């Protein structure tokens, strides 16, 4: 019977260390060999490639085409045109002495006297038109002195005073401040003063299909003035 040989423990330890070192050395050599780059070619920058370009062939010169022959009718027309007599000297002088084109010149600004003269002419034209539209009625400005103003003030105070119970109310047309051209009247009676407004057809609530144009009774503002008429 043959017994198995078992090396001592120290020998086994050394053998394992040697195998480990050998494996590491082989790995380091393989890594160095893998990371080694191939030698670069140093002659790439010195190489020159010559390319020859053949010149383009020049086309042969072409002769210019001969002009077409002129017809006989054109030649006869030219001879007739040359045979025409020259214009008379008077016509040549008129053509040569033609007036040059007129040059536009900016008109000067009108003076104050010109503006006043134009305003007076416009006023005179308006006056003639008014006299023609109203024949026999001279247009004169109303007299405005102290007496007339006093009379107007007394009349306005009398119109504003309340009436007696037996007197008829005083009705005065006043100016409507609204935009619908309504008619307004100030009524001064025994019971006081009030205003009546007659609505216009253009107002939103003026024309009622069932009741017609409505009359409204309102208060009178002190700022409302009586309507005036043109005095001829």
* pLDDT tens track for 66-110: 666 665 544 544 444 454 555 555 555 554 555 555 555 566 788
The residues, ordered by sequence, that sit 6+ positions from 183 with a Cβ below 8 Å of its Cβ are: 173, 176, 197, 198, 200
In order, the DSSP letters of 173-222 are EE---SSS--EEEEEEETTEEEEEEE--TTSTTTEETTTEE-EEEE---T
What is the reported pLDDT for 129? 87
Cα distance between residue 206 and residue 194, in whole Å: 20
Asked if residue 170 is part of any domain, the answer here is: yes
Residue 37 burial by Cβ neighbours in a 10 Å radius (0-12, 13-18, 19+): exposed
pLDDT tens per residue, range 12-49: 888 889 999 999 999 999 998 887 766 665 555 567 77
Alpha-carbon torsion, ordered 213, 217, 219, 224, to 10 deg = 40
pLDDT(62) > 90:
no
Asked if residue 192 is part of any domain, the answer here is: yes
Cα distance between residue 165 and residue 190, in whole Å: 5
Asked if residue 193 is part of any domain, the answer here is: yes
What is the reported pLDDT for 81? 45
- How many folded domains does the chain comprise? 1
Nearest of 154, 224, 214, 150 to residue 193 by alpha carbon: 224
- Helices H / strands E in the chain, number of each: 5, 6
Asked if residue 35 is part of any domain, the answer here is: no
Record the tokens describing residue 205, joined without a space: 């609530």
What is the reported pLDDT for 138? 65
What is the reported pLDDT for 80? 44
Asked if residue 201 is part of any domain, the answer here is: yes
What is the reported pLDDT for 73? 47
Cα distance between residue 52 and residue 208, in whole Å: 105
91 neighbors 97 (Cβ within 8 angstroms): no
Nearest of 121, 193, 126 to residue 161 by alpha carbon: 193
Neighbours of 197 (CB within 10 A): 19
DSSP state for residue 8 in the 8-state scheme: -
Task: Kindly report the average pLDDT of the chain as a whole number.
Answer: 73
Domain hosting residue 181, numbered range: 162-218
Asked if residue 202 is part of any domain, the answer here is: yes
187 neighbors 195 (Cβ within 8 angstroms): yes
């Amino acid at each position: 019977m043959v017994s198995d040989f078992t090396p001592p423990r120290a020998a086994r330890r050394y053998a394992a260390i040697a195998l480990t070192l050998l494996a590491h050395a082989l790995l380091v050599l393989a890594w160095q060999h893998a990371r080694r780059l191939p030698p670069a070619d140093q002659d790439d920058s010195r190489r020159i490639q010559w390319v020859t370009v053949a010149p383009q062939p020049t086309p042969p010169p072409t002769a210019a085409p001969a002009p077409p022959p002129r017809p006989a009718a054109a030649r006869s027309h030219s001879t007739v045109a040359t045979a025409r007599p020259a214009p008379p000297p008077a016509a040549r002088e008129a053509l040569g002495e033609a007036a040059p084109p007129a040059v536009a010149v900016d008109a000067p600004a009108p003076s104050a006297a010109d503006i006043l003269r134009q305003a007076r002419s416009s006023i005179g034209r308006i006056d003639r038109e008014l006299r023609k539209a109203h024949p026999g009625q001279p247009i004169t400005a109303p007299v405005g002195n102290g007496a007339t103003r006093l009379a107007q003030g007394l009349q306005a105070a009398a119109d504003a005073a309340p009436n007696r119970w037996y007197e008829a109310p005083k009705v005065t047309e006043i100016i409507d401040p609204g935009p619908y051209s309504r008619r307004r009247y100030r009524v001064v009676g025994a019971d006081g003063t009030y205003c009546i407004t007659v609505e216009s057809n253009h107002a939103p609530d003026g024309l009622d299909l069932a009741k017609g144009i409505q009359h409204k009774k309102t208060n009178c503002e002190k700022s409302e003035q009586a309507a005036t008429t043109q005095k001829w």
